[in-house]
């Protein structure tokens, strides 16, 4: 009986999946999606059209990719869901060592205040550095923050909106780096300096570029999807820093919102 139902359902499944086959009319559809997406990217990059753009194209203020010669000991904090990860990374030429630990965020903290959230994160950071016997060292920390973020600099990022079930109060519109710094200072028992805040797509691009120097795009496909890429700085009109640096900047697309305007630009 089960086999017969499977056979009967197959034509229906094939019909539903037909649009995923890239041939014939679908090629024209894919080309149209590409054209509309590129138009959305241009709207996100330009200061005049950015407010109404659904693909926001936020400048990350990260300009240079690693070249594999970096050395030193670093902390990383990866916050993007109900669990977050703290890492201790030591780079030496093209060799690296990494230790990490996963911490949970209880439901009441996800729905509580921003101060509660960052106090919890600071507590977990303190636990980790003490377990790894580096609490007496002043280590730089890279903060991967996988929520829509409007960056105003390498160490300043304003939360645009919560996603993934988070609803912490008094965080939207505020600088999450400052909130983490203040939580660390309230403890007073660890020396951690947040040296950069970045999206998980940017972190993916940076880590892959360290191994493969031709990497220029970072892509996340998980609970949500997003991407970042290397753009000419002159095209990123939201860039507020007068320092041109390398003349390039990584752009956080926030392309998960693509189509949120109801596909108006397809018509």
Domain 72-199 annotated CATH 3.30.420.40:
yes
Q: Does 156 participate in catalysis according to the annotation?
A: no
Give per-residue pLDDT as tens, 171-191.
999 999 999 999 999 998 988
Tell me which of 81-90, 119-128, 145-154 is least confident.
145-154
Give the closest residue to 199 by CA, choosing from 249, 250, 246, 240.
250
103 vs 198: CA distance, rounded Å: 20
* Among 31, 164, 167, 232, the one annotated catalytic: 164
> Hey, where are the domains in the chain?
72-199
Q: Does 243 participate in catalysis according to the annotation?
A: no
Give the closest residue to 251 by CA, choosing from 41, 75, 30, 35.
41
**Average pLDDT over the chain, rounded to an integer:** 88
Give the closest residue to 203 by CA, choosing from 141, 142, 129.
142
Which residues face 86 on adjacent strands? Answer: 77, 101
Which residues face 248 on adjacent strands? Answer: 232
- Model pTM greater than 0.85? no
- CA 188, chain centre distance (Å): 29
For residue 2, the model assigns a pLDDT of 46
Res 90 pLDDT > 50: yes
Lookup: tokens for 215 = 């990497």
What's the half-sphere exposure (Cβ side, CA atoms, 13 Å) at 61?
18
Confidence band of 232 (pLDDT split at 50, 70, 90): very high
Which residue's entry shows tokens 């994160």?
121
* Among 78, 119, 175, 200, the one annotated catalytic: 200
- Rounded to 5 degrees, what are φ and ψ at 68? 95, -5
């Amino acid at each position: 009986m089960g086999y017969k139902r499977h056979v009967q359902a197959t034509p229906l499944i094939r019909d539903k999946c037909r649009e995923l086959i890239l041939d014939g009319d679908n090629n024209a559809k894919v080309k149209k999606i590409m054209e509309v997406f590129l138009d959305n990217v241009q709207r996100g990059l330009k200061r005049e059209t950015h407010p109404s753009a659904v693909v926001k194209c936020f400048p990350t203020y990260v300009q240079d990719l690693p070249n594999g010669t970096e050395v030193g000991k670093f902390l990383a904090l990866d916050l993007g869901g109900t669990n977050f990860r703290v890492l201790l990374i030591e780079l030496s030429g093209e060799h690296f060592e990494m230790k990490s630990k996963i911490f949970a965020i209880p439901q009441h903290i996800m729905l509580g205040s921003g101060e509660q959230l960052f106090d919890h994160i600071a507590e977990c950071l303190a636990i980790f550095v003490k377990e790894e016997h580096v609490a007496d060292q002043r280590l730089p920390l890279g903060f991967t923050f996988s929520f829509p973020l409007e960056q105003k600099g390498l160490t300043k990022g304003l939360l645009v909106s919560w996603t993934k079930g988070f609803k912490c109060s008094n965080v939207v519109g505020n600088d999450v780096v400052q909130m983490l710094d203040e939580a660390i200072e309230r403890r007073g028992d660890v020396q951690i300096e947040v040296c950069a805040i970045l999206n998980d797509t940017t972190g993916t691009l940076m880590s892959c570029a360290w191994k493969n120097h031709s990497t220029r795009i970072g892509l996340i496909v998980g609970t949500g999807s997003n991407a970042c890429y290397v753009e000419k700085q002159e095209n990123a009109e939201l860039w507020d820093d007068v320092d041109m640096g390398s003349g390039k900047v990584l752009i956080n697309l926030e392309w998960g919102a693509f189509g949120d305007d109801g596909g108006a630009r397809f018509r």
